[in-house]
Amino acid sequence: MPRPILLHGATKPLLFVLCCLPLAYVVWSLATQPHPNPAEYLIRALGDWTLRGLCLTLAITPLRVMLKQPALARFRRMLGVWTFAYGCLHLFSYAWLDKSLDFAEIARDIAKRPFILMGFAAWLLMLPLALTSFNRAIKALGAKRWQALHKAVYAVIVIGLLHFIWLRAGKNNFAEPAVYGAIIAVLLGWRVWQGLRRRQTA
């Protein structure tokens, strides 16, 4: 019997390459196209891809259930780690290009501007998730505690959305945040609905 394509050994390397492509595009765009503010473009593009990565990571479970493809779960960890990597690059590019790695100034900015505070809070919540994304951590924590810890991703995506909304509020541009908000509402709403169904059938 042929092996399902999602279990093929080439799928994870392919996903790795696909996760690299947004970063490659951002670098290529900076190198070949004029940008009025290259630093701002880099910071915001990396932030956009962090939020997109969170949405893709949270979409794995509903897609797995609705498409009846349990093998999709094997891609969730890599997507989550890559999302954290984009979040780290987003934070580092802000700290370096916007604040010249002046940590006192960064601390003042976090305290002064709510959208910076939200972004930093989302990154802090992602940190323990990334640090416990390997098999030894699951064994050390135990499956139940590990699953409870990783439910923090729901808070991360909501805080990340708030970060994005406040960022765009300065220019009174809410169209793109509304799209992300709708996607996130569907992803979280599906989980609430599934939880209610399980309670009713228990």
For residue 74, what pLDDT band results from cuts at 50, 70 and 90? very high
40-68 pLDDT, tens digit each: 999 999 999 999 999 999 999 999 999 99
Q: What is the mean pLDDT of residues 128-153?
A: 92
Q: Answer whether residue 17 shows pLDDT above 90.
A: yes
Distance between CA atoms of 148 and 150, rounded to whole angstroms? 6
Q: Which two tokens stand for residue 201?
A: 């059938």
Structural domain spans, the chain: 5-201
The residue among 51 and 134 whose pLDDT is bigger is 51
Q: Which two tokens stand for residue 77?
A: 């960890």
Q: Which two tokens stand for residue 106?
A: 């960064």
Report the percentage of the chain scoring pLDDT > 70.
Answer: 98
pTM here?
A: 0.94
189-201 pLDDT, tens digit each: 999 999 898 888 7
List the one residue out of 61, 81, 84 whose CA is nearest residue 71: 61
Q: What is the mean pLDDT of residues 122-130?
A: 97
Q: What is the mean pLDDT of residues 108-135?
A: 95
Q: Answer whether residue 130 shows pLDDT above 90.
A: yes
For helices 175-201 and 38-66, the axis angle rounded to 10 degrees is: 30
